[in-house]
Chain A
Amino acid sequence: MRVPLSWLRDFVDLPTDDPDDIVAALNGLGIEVEEVHRLAVPFTGVVVASVEAVRAHPSADRIRLVTIDDGAGGKEVVCGAWNFEAGATVAYATVGSVLAGGLEVGERTIRGVLSPGMIASEKELGLGDEGGGILVLDRGVPGQDFMELVGLPDVVFDVAITPNRPDAMSVYGVARDLAAFYDVPLRAVAFTEPASEGESAVQVRIEDPDGCTRFTAREIRGVAVGPSPLWMRQRLRAAGQRPISNIVDVTNYVMLELGQPLHAFDLDLIPSETIVVRRAVAAEPLRTLDGVDRVLDPADLVIASPQAALGLAGVMGGGDSEVSETTTRILLEVAHFEPTGVLVTGKRHQLRTEAVARFERGVDPELPPIASARATSLMIELAGGTAVGPLIDEYPRPHVPVVVELPGTEVARLLGVQVPDEAVAGYLRRLGFGVEGVGPARVTVPSFRPDVTRPADLVEEVARLHGFDRIPARLPTGVGGRLPSEEVIRRSVRRAMVGAGFSETMAFDFVGMEEISALVIDPDDPRRDPVRIRNPLSEEQAYLRSTLVPGLLAGIRVNQARHRGEIALFEVGTVFRKAQGDLPAQPRHVAFAAAGRLPAPSWEAAPERDVRDATGVIETLFTALRTPFALEQTPQTGFHPGRSAAVVVAGKSVGIVGEIHPSVAAAFGIEGRVIAGEIDMSAFDPHRVEFTAPSAFPPVVFDLAFEVGDDVPAGRLIEVMRQSGGMLLDRIELFDVFSGPPLEAGRKSLAVRLTFRDHARTLTDQDLIPVRGEMTAAVMRELGGRLRGA
C-alpha cells in the first residue's frame, strides 16, 4: 500500500520531516516499509496565474494571445490551447523556467508576437499524459508557487500491512499509528453531513445479516461526470491509483484515505430502486466491472436489484450499473461485510481487489456513515449535484464493543519488562482504546481493531508503542539437549556417503507417474501406486515419490547434459506409500546413483564404475552404521536382472542395490551404465561394539579353492564356510574367481583365504585338520562344491 507523506500530514503533524525517521517509526510499529519513493518536482519556475483576457492573434487563426496576472503584474503570452477562457486559473511557466524533459522556457516570438514564458499543459509539467489543452486549475491564487499547490516534492512509503491490521489499511489508519507513536494529536477526518433535499425512493433490504451487518445508501442527483481536478488526480497517482472520473475517483480516494471500500452505481441503470443484499442463486450470472462474465456460487454474497445481481458484495461492482460520462444520478453504497465471505468469494473468482484486501481483514463497522458523508461531500464538490433524503442506514447487527480485562502483571509476564500501569494505560489510550482502572485494567477495544480480543493482544499493542528494542535480552538455558538417534543416524549416513565420494542432492518430492513407471516396471510393485496430490502444480508433479531413485537418475541426466563424466549422487529423504490410518507411510530412505568412471587423474586409466561399486557402497554404509547385512541375489524391477540384489537385515529386505536396467537408464536419458541402491534407514541399528583384545598369538592362514556350479553365489559359499568354520575361524576373504578351462562348462572356481586364531595359544596346522574337513564336507553337502587340488 502506497502512503504519501503529504496525505499523512492532513491528519497528523509529525515532529520530523526526515523520511528515514518516519520509516524507522513505521517499522517499529509493525507497518513494514518495503520501499520509499521520492517524488521529485519535474519543473522549476512555474507559478499560478489567472487569465484576465483572451484575444485573437493578429496573424494566426489557431493560436491566441492571453493576458494573465501572475501576481507580479500583467503579461501577454501566446497560447495554442482553446480549453479555457478569461477567468480561468492556469500554471504559468515563467521566463527562465524549466519544464519536464528539460524544456527551457524563454521569450519567444511566435508569428510576430513576443511571448514571455508560456501557459503549461499537464504533460509539459510532467504531471500526466494530458497534452491536448493547457492545465486548468480549480484552486490557487496568482503568484502562488505551483510546486506547493500540487504538493511536491513528496515522499511515498510503500508499506506492507499484516493480515491482522485492518485499521492500518488506510492513510488515516497509518496516521493514527504515527500519532500514537509520536504522542501527538490526530486530526479527525474533515466531513460535514451533506445538506439534502427531498425524499429518495431508494430502499435497502438485507436478507443475509450474517454476511452484511450494515449497509448504507445515499442517492445523489444532478452530478456531472468528468475528470477530477489536479489535486485529486495527483493524490491518487501518488497512492498508485489511476484517476478515472470524478465520481469513481472519490470512491477510490475515500477508500484509500479511510480504509472503507465504497461503490457508486448509476442509479438510472438499476431496474428498480430497491437494493437487496442476498446470497447468489446457484449459477446466477453477473458481468463484473472488469468485463468478465461470471457464474456465481450460492455462497457468494451479492448486491442486487429485485431482478438481478448488481455486484459481488465487497469484491467488485457489476458492469451493467457502472458509472459513465452520461451518469447523472448516483447511488453510493457504503457497507460492512463479514470478512470470511469476502475472502472466499474473492479467492473463488480470483479477484484481489482493493476492496477485498480491506474487507477480508475486517473493516471498522462504525465507519460507513463517516465514509459516506466524506464521499458525498467530495462528490458534490467535484461533480456538483445534491444529496437526496437522509442517509439510508440498515444496521441489523450493531457492533458491540469488546472489553478485555488486562491483569496488572500480564505485560511483565509476557514481555519480560516492567512497564508502569500508567504507561500501559497511556499507550493503549493513544491507540484509541478505552482504559478504566489498573491491575486489572478494563480495556474497551475500539471498533477498528477487531484483531484485539485477549490480554495477549493488548500486550502486543503495549510492546509496539513501548518499543521491542526496550525489552531486555535474557538467555534461558534449556533442560539438557541431545540429538535423537534418528538424527544421529541421518548424520552418520551422510558422512559415510560423502566419504565414499558421493555428493548430496535434494530433489523435490513430486514426481509424475511417467517417471515412477519408467523405473518401477513391475505393475504390482507398491511403488507403482504412489500417493497422489489433490491439487498438484502439474501432472508431472502430481505424486509423492515412492522411491528416491528417479530423482537421482534425473540428477545424473542433468549432469551428463553438462558434460560431467564422473557422477556420484546420493539423497537422504522421505518416501511416501499408501497406508491405512491417519496418514500415509513415510519412511526415510537413503539412495544413491552413480555413472561414469571412478575419479582418477586424467592420464591414468580409471575403471568404469560397475555393479561392484554399488555393492561396495552398501558395504561401506552398513559398516559405518555398524549394522550386519546380507545381499540376496534376486532380480529387482527396473534393474539389470543378473546384477541386482535385495539388501537383507535380520532376515528382512530393507533395500535394493544393483545396476539400473539399460532400457530404464535410456528412458531417463542417461548414457552408459548406472549403478544405484536404496535403503530404508530404519534398517540401520548401530550395534554396540564388543571389544576383543588383539590376540598375542600368531594366526594360521591357508587357502582353499572350491569348484562349484556357476549359479552358486560367492556369498553363499562364504556363509556356509563361516557356519562350518568353528570358533577359531577369524576371517574369510574371497581372493579369486574364475571359470573356463580346465573347468567344465557351467562350473566356476572360488578361492578363499582363511585365517584362524586362538586367543590362548599358538595354533598348529595339525589343530585345523578337523575343521578343514568339516568345511569341505559342508561345501560339498550344501553347495555341491568340490575342493580343488585335493
Chain B
Amino acid sequence: MIRPEDLRAHEATILERLDGVASTTVLDALESEALGAGSPVTVARRSLRDATPEERRDVGMAVNAVTANLAEAFAERRHQLGIAEVDAKLAGERFDMTLPGRAPALGAAHLVAQVWDEIVDIFVGLGYTVASGPEVETAYYNFDALNTPPTHPSRLESDTFYVEHGDDPEAVLLRTQTSPVQARWMQSHEPPVYIVVPGRCYRRDAIDATHTPVFHQMEGLAVDSNITFADLKGTLGYFADAFFGSGSRVRFLPHFFPFTEPSAEMHVSCFACDGSGCRTCKNTGWIEVLGCGVVDPNVLSAAGYDPWTVSGFAFGVGIDRLALVRYAIPELRYFFDSDLRVLDQFR
C-alpha cells in the first residue's frame, strides 16, 4: 500500500523535474510518468478498493490532492511552453515590413476625367441634370441656333474643323463648344431647364501652352420663369467655393459672347497667393475661370421659348483649364500625351 507521504514525495520529485522541462514532448512524457497508468498516483488510486476505511480516507485525500496539484502544475507549464514555442516560431518569421508590398495594380483615372466628374457632381448637387450630344455636329446647332451670325469669324475654316458628310461642305463640323447640346435640349424640353453638358470640343488652334485643337468644356444652362444675373452670380460663386475652396472670392467683368446678353467673365481670387499677386495669376490676384451671361433672347426664341416670360443664364468652363489652373500645370498638351509619368501622378 502506497502511503500518503510516498505520494507527496512523488509530487515533490515530479515538480522538481518539471522545472527543467523545455519542450512539450518532454512535458508529455513526464506527465505520463507523473499521472499515467503506472504512476504512483494511479497505483494508489487503484489500491483503494482493498484499503481499510482509514487508509482509504488518508490515501484517498492524498491521491486527490497530489493529482490536482500535479495537473495544475502541468497545465501551467504547458501554457508557458506554448507561449515560448509560438514566440520562437514568430521570431523566426520576422519580415522587413518596409519592403514594397505586393500591391494589386492600380491605374489612374485621367486628371481631366476626375475634374469632369467633380464639377458635374457639384452641379448635380444643385439639382442639375447631365445632358450630352454628338461631337460631330451640324452647323445649325453649333452656330445658327446659338445666335452666331452667318459671317461670324468663328465659322471660318481657319477656326472650325468641317467634316466631310453629305453635300453641303459647311453643314457638318466638329463642335466648337458644348453649347449645341443646350439648343438640342431646349428643343425637346419645356422650361424649367437645369442642365450641365460636359464634353469634348474642337477648335482649329495650333498647339501652345494653353491651346490644343481638342479640349474639354462644360456648359451649364438654367432657364426658368424668374432667372436673373443674380442667380448666375450665386450659382457660380457656389461652384467656385466648391471647386477652389471656401473663401474663394469671385468677380464678374463684362465680356461678350454671341449667345448671352449681358455677358461676363468670371475670375476667382488666386488660390496660390490669395490675391496678393504671383506667377499663377500673372500678378493680377485673379484667375480667369469661365465665361457666362444671361441667355440671349434670340437663343431662347430659336428654341421656341418666349423670351418675355422665361429667362436664363448660361456658362461655359474649360475642364482642362480648371485642371491646369488647380495643379499649376504649365502646358495643356501633357493631358493628351499618354505619358504615364504624367498620368500616374493623379492616381
- Asked if A544 and B163 sit within 8 Å, CB to CB, the answer is yes
In the bound complex, residues from chain B placing their C-beta under 8 Å from that of A347 are 153, 156, 158
In the bound complex, residues from chain B placing their C-beta under 8 Å from that of A499 are 106-107
In the bound complex, residues from chain A placing their C-beta under 8 Å from that of B81 are none
Do A473 and B202 contact each other (CB < 8 Å), given the known contacts A494-B113, A558-B338, A584-B163? Answer: no
Q: Is A724 an interface residue (CB 8 A)?
A: no
- Asked if B136 and A584 sit within 8 Å, CB to CB, the answer is yes
Do A463 and B237 contact each other (CB < 8 Å), given the known contacts A494-B109, A503-B340, A533-B164? Answer: no
- Asked if A491 and B117 sit within 8 Å, CB to CB, the answer is yes
**Stretch of B20-28, B44-52, B82-90, B122-130 that contacts chain A:** B122-130
Q: Is B94 an interface residue (CB 8 A)?
A: no
- Asked if B253 and A416 sit within 8 Å, CB to CB, the answer is no
CB B128 to nearest CB in A, in angstroms, measures: 5
- Asked if A471 and B127 sit within 8 Å, CB to CB, the answer is no
Q: Is A555 an interface residue (CB 8 A)?
A: yes
A504 nearest in chain B by CB position: B110
In the bound complex, residues from chain A placing their C-beta under 8 Å from that of B194 are 478-479, 481
**Stretch of A160-168, A188-196, A626-634 that contacts chain B:** A160-168
- Asked if A416 and B230 sit within 8 Å, CB to CB, the answer is yes
CB A36 to nearest CB in B, in angstroms, measures: 10
Task: Identify A504's interface contact among B109, B124, B129, B252, CB under 8 A.
Answer: B109
CB A303 to nearest CB in B, in angstroms, measures: 21
**Stretch of A258-266, A593-601, A652-660, A767-775 that contacts chain B:** A593-601
In the bound complex, residues from chain A placing their C-beta under 8 Å from that of B296 are 456
- Asked if B162 and A534 sit within 8 Å, CB to CB, the answer is yes
- Asked if A503 and B343 sit within 8 Å, CB to CB, the answer is yes
Please measure, in the bound complex, the distance between the C-alpha atom of A727 and the C-alpha atom of B293, giving whole angstroms. Answer: 63
Chain A interface residue count, Cβ-Cβ cutoff 8 angstroms: 97
- Asked if A481 and B124 sit within 8 Å, CB to CB, the answer is yes
CB B235 to nearest CB in A, in angstroms, measures: 6
A-B contact count (CB 8 A): 271
Q: Is B172 an interface residue (CB 8 A)?
A: yes
Q: Which of B178-204 contact A (CB under 8 A)?
A: 192, 194, 200, 202, 204
Please measure, in the bound complex, the distance between the C-alpha atom of A477 and the C-alpha atom of B235, giving whole angstroms. Answer: 9
**Stretch of B35-43, B69-77, B255-263 that contacts chain A:** B255-263
From B254, B339, B340, B341, residue with most partner A Cβ within 10 Å:
B254
- Asked if B126 and A586 sit within 8 Å, CB to CB, the answer is no
Q: Is A114 an interface residue (CB 8 A)?
A: no
Q: Is A464 an interface residue (CB 8 A)?
A: yes
CB B136 to nearest CB in A, in angstroms, measures: 5
A23 nearest in chain B by CB position: B284
Please measure, in the bound complex, the distance between the C-alpha atom of A584 and the C-alpha atom of B252, giving whole angstroms. Answer: 39
- Asked if B224 and A533 sit within 8 Å, CB to CB, the answer is no
Q: How large is the interface on B (under 10, 10 to 19, 20 to 34, 35 or more residues)?
A: 35 or more
From B117, B227, B262, residue with most partner A Cβ within 10 Å:
B262
Do A508 and B213 contact each other (CB < 8 Å), given the known contacts A535-B161, A583-B134, A583-B138? Answer: yes
Task: Identify B233's interface contact among A28, A29, A472, A552, CB under 8 A.
Answer: A472
Q: Which of A570-615 contact B (CB under 8 A)?
A: 570, 572-574, 576, 578, 582-584, 586, 598-601, 604
Q: Is B99 an interface residue (CB 8 A)?
A: yes
CB A410 to nearest CB in B, in angstroms, measures: 9
From A502, A509, A601, residue with most partner B Cβ within 10 Å:
A509
In the bound complex, residues from chain B placing their C-beta under 8 Å from that of A601 are 99-100, 102
Please measure, in the bound complex, the distance between the C-alpha atom of A454 and the C-alpha atom of B166, giving whole angstroms. Answer: 37
Q: Which of A509-537 contact B (CB under 8 A)?
A: 509-510, 531-537
B238 nearest in chain A by CB position: A475
CB B242 to nearest CB in A, in angstroms, measures: 12
Q: Which of A533-587 contact B (CB under 8 A)?
A: 533-537, 544, 551-552, 554-555, 558-559, 562, 564, 567-570, 572-574, 576, 578, 582-584, 586
Please measure, in the bound complex, the distance between the C-alpha atom of A583 and the C-alpha atom of B303, giving whole angstroms. Answer: 20
CB A543 to nearest CB in B, in angstroms, measures: 10
Q: Which of A112-141 contact B (CB under 8 A)?
A: none
Do A483 and B254 contact each other (CB < 8 Å), given the known contacts A456-B261, A586-B134, A586-B135? Answer: no
In the bound complex, residues from chain A placing their C-beta under 8 Å from that of B172 are 582-584
CB A64 to nearest CB in B, in angstroms, measures: 50
Q: Is A476 an interface residue (CB 8 A)?
A: yes
Q: Is B9 an interface residue (CB 8 A)?
A: no
- Asked if B105 and A469 sit within 8 Å, CB to CB, the answer is no
- Asked if A559 and B340 sit within 8 Å, CB to CB, the answer is yes
Task: Identify B261's interface contact among A457, A475, A491, A537, CB under 8 A.
Answer: A457
B227 nearest in chain A by CB position: A476
In the bound complex, residues from chain B placing their C-beta under 8 Å from that of A463 are 229, 254, 262
In the bound complex, residues from chain A placing their C-beta under 8 Å from that of B297 are 454, 456
Task: Identify B163's interface contact among A474, A495, A532, A573, CB under 8 A.
Answer: A532
In the bound complex, residues from chain A placing their C-beta under 8 Å from that of B63 are none
CB A584 to nearest CB in B, in angstroms, measures: 5
- Asked if B311 and A414 sit within 8 Å, CB to CB, the answer is yes
Q: Is A743 an interface residue (CB 8 A)?
A: no
CB A206 to nearest CB in B, in angstroms, measures: 21
Q: Is B287 an interface residue (CB 8 A)?
A: no
B307 nearest in chain A by CB position: A456
In the bound complex, residues from chain B placing their C-beta under 8 Å from that of A508 are 212-214, 336
Please measure, in the bound complex, the distance between the C-alpha atom of A340 and the C-alpha atom of B164, giving whole angstroms. Answer: 26
- Asked if A502 and B107 sit within 8 Å, CB to CB, the answer is yes
Task: Identify A460's interface contact among B212, B235, B237, B261, CB under 8 A.
Answer: B261
Q: Is B98 an interface residue (CB 8 A)?
A: no
Please measure, in the bound complex, the distance between the C-alpha atom of A534 and the C-alpha atom of B132, giving whole angstroms. Answer: 25
Task: Identify A163's interface contact among B106, B109, B256, B344, CB under 8 A.
Answer: B256
- Asked if B107 and A484 sit within 8 Å, CB to CB, the answer is no
Task: Identify B102's interface contact among A414, A469, A498, A600, CB under 8 A.
Answer: A600
- Per-residue 0/1 for A729-762: is the Cβ within 8 Å of any B Cβ (1 yes, 0 no)? 0000000000000000000000000000000000
Task: Identify B136's interface contact among A476, A572, A586, CB under 8 A.
Answer: A586
B153 nearest in chain A by CB position: A343
- Per-residue 0/1 for B222-262: is the Cβ within 8 Å of any A Cβ (1 yes, 0 no)? 10100111110111011000000000000111111000011
Q: Is A344 an interface residue (CB 8 A)?
A: yes
In the bound complex, residues from chain A placing their C-beta under 8 Å from that of B105 are 500-501, 568, 598-599
- Asked if A583 and B102 sit within 8 Å, CB to CB, the answer is no
Task: Identify B162's interface contact among A343, A533, A564, A584, CB under 8 A.
Answer: A533
Please measure, in the bound complex, the distance between the C-alpha atom of A402 and the C-alpha atom of B172, giving whole angstroms. Answer: 36
Please measure, in the bound complex, the distance between the C-alpha atom of A509 and the C-alpha atom of B131, giving whole angstroms. Answer: 21
- Asked if B132 and A486 sit within 8 Å, CB to CB, the answer is yes
Please measure, in the bound complex, the distance between the C-alpha atom of A417 and the C-alpha atom of B252, giving whole angstroms. Answer: 15
Task: Identify A474's interface contact among B107, B129, B200, B230, CB under 8 A.
Answer: B230
A570 nearest in chain B by CB position: B107
Q: Is A55 an interface residue (CB 8 A)?
A: no
Task: Identify A510's interface contact among B213, B253, B337, B344, CB under 8 A.
Answer: B213
Q: Is A459 an interface residue (CB 8 A)?
A: yes
Q: Which of B311-347 contact A (CB under 8 A)?
A: 311, 335-341, 343-344, 347
CB B161 to nearest CB in A, in angstroms, measures: 5
In the bound complex, residues from chain A placing their C-beta under 8 Å from that of B99 are 601
In the bound complex, residues from chain A placing their C-beta under 8 Å from that of B103 are 599
- Asked if B229 and A554 sit within 8 Å, CB to CB, the answer is no
- Asked if A416 and B228 sit within 8 Å, CB to CB, the answer is yes
Which 10 A-B residue pairs are closest in the complex by CB-CB distance?
A: A478-B127, A501-B105, A416-B230, A30-B254, A416-B228, A555-B338, A478-B194, A162-B256, A460-B262, A475-B234
26 contacts between A and B (CB under 8 A): A30-B254, A347-B158, A414-B262, A415-B230, A417-B228, A456-B262, A456-B294, A457-B261, A459-B261, A473-B237, A474-B231, A474-B233, A475-B231, A476-B235, A499-B106, A503-B107, A505-B338, A506-B110, A508-B212, A508-B213, A534-B162, A573-B200, A583-B172, A584-B165, A600-B102, A601-B100
With A504-B113, A599-B103 given, can you name 5 additional A-B contacts, CB distance below 8 Å?
A472-B230, A478-B192, A498-B106, A501-B104, A583-B172
